[in-house]
Amino acid sequence: MTGERIGIGFVGCGRISDLQCLGYIDHPRAEIRAVCDLDEARARASAERWGGARVYGDLAALLDDPEIDAVEILTPHHLHEEHATAALEAGKHVSLQKPPTPTLEALARLARVSERTGFTLRVFENFMFYPPHLKAKELIDAGAIGEPLSLRAKTASGRLTDGWALTPQTQAWRMNTDTCGGGATTFDHGYHCFNMGRFFMPEEVERVHAFIHWTELGPNERIDGPALISWKYAGAVPRYGSWEVIASLGMRVRSSYYASDDRLEIHGSEGVLWVNRCTGKLLDEPSVVLYRDGETRAFHDLECDWAESFRLGGIDFIDALCEGRVPAQDAQSARHTLAFALAAARSADEGREVAIAELEDG
């Protein structure tokens, strides 16, 4: 990028945009110049909060704006391919909210458009920018727990009325598998957890087995939880992982965001790491704890606000564009995480272990 500032356009001004904007607002070389949403009042409110950005009710009009260099796409998952393709074809770089697409085929098509046009496609997954996760990754890479051998994740979902106030429309499209692409828990939120399953380990996931229960909440409304998903990593060293979803829908989860929280336990040949919080604050514990050689070390000075992961992720996207480098995640890395999520869904549906190669080779 050669301009002094990179003009950002937001496609979708739903709840998550309040966090997605933070990195762009803070970056000296970024400016939010336009927003687009079918709800004009919501778009205007966002534009005012972000410094008077232009408001469009039509995606094509935003993409015709010559002052927009990159777009942040925050629309429902079934629209991602259409919207991202249009943006790339219009000569805009794209940051696409996870999960990128409902299918691997759709993501492959997007990757080809990005390659053909020469414009960047970044899939944004904020957990990989959450400071406690970054600290845990730093410790693992430095050998703090020896050879990483096992990862266990646990998600506690609480009362749906707690945390962020979400509109009925926001809840509805996530609970509809046609518009979400899968379950609201094990596909939408699950993309984060599956990516964490890859983030800390030196080998890719090879095989997946899943139990996913669908809990009926009301007419045309259900949630995919509880769930128990396990997997095996490739490579000569035996490594395994698991993710458990607890649907404690009567429990209060202290959170300024979604009413759930995630915890990680990563075992190595010489120690153990715990990451004790993410979206919420279930327990008053240090965010990262390391056990090694009979001693426990707690890290108390890390930024634990979930919003920080969005701020850092936005900054990384702008830095990548300015430096001409590949951002985290590119389409290839996102493909592995998406295949992981889809393998879990297939395993639960078919009652069998599923090899990732079944999806990626297909």
Q: Computed from CA positions of residues 70, 18, 215, 261, in that sequence, does the dihedral angle turn out positive or negative?
A: positive
Q: What is the pLDDT, as a whole number, of residue 70?
A: 98
Q: State whether residue 276 is helix, strand or coil.
A: coil
For residue 342, name the pLDDT band (cuts at 50, 70, 90).
very high
- Amino acid at position 334, single letter: A
In the DSSP assignment, the letter for residue 256 is S
Planar angle of CA 107, 111, 114, nearest 5 degrees: 140
For residue 3, name the pLDDT band (cuts at 50, 70, 90).
low
Give the Cα separation of 146 and 136 in Å (integer).
13
Q: What is the pLDDT, as a whole number, of residue 11?
A: 98
Q: Which residue has the higher pLDDT, 100 or 2?
A: 100
- Nearby residues of 120 by Cβ (< 8 Å), 6 or more positions away: 70, 93, 94, 114, 320, 321, 326, 327
Planar angle of CA 193, 310, 29, nearest 5 degrees: 145
pLDDT above 60: residue 2: no
Q: Which fold has domain 128-304+341-348?
A: Dihydrodipicolinate Reductase; domain 2 (3.30.360)
- Range from 109-113, 121-125, 178-182, 307-311 carrying the lowest mean pLDDT: 178-182
Spacing of C-alpha 297 from chain mean position:
29
pLDDT above 80: residue 166: no
- Going from N- to C-terminal start, the domains of the chain cover 6-124, 128-304+341-348
Q: For domain 6-124, is the CATH number 3.40.630.40?
A: no
Q: State whether residue 260 is helix, strand or coil.
A: strand
Give the Cα separation of 204 and 360 in Å (integer).
13
Q: What is the rounded average pLDDT of the residues 113-138?
A: 98
Q: What is the pLDDT, as a whole number, of residue 262?
A: 96
Tokens of residue 68, six digits: 């927009």
- Strands, E assignment, 28-69: 30-36, 54-56
Give the Cα separation of 128 and 150 in Å (integer).
18
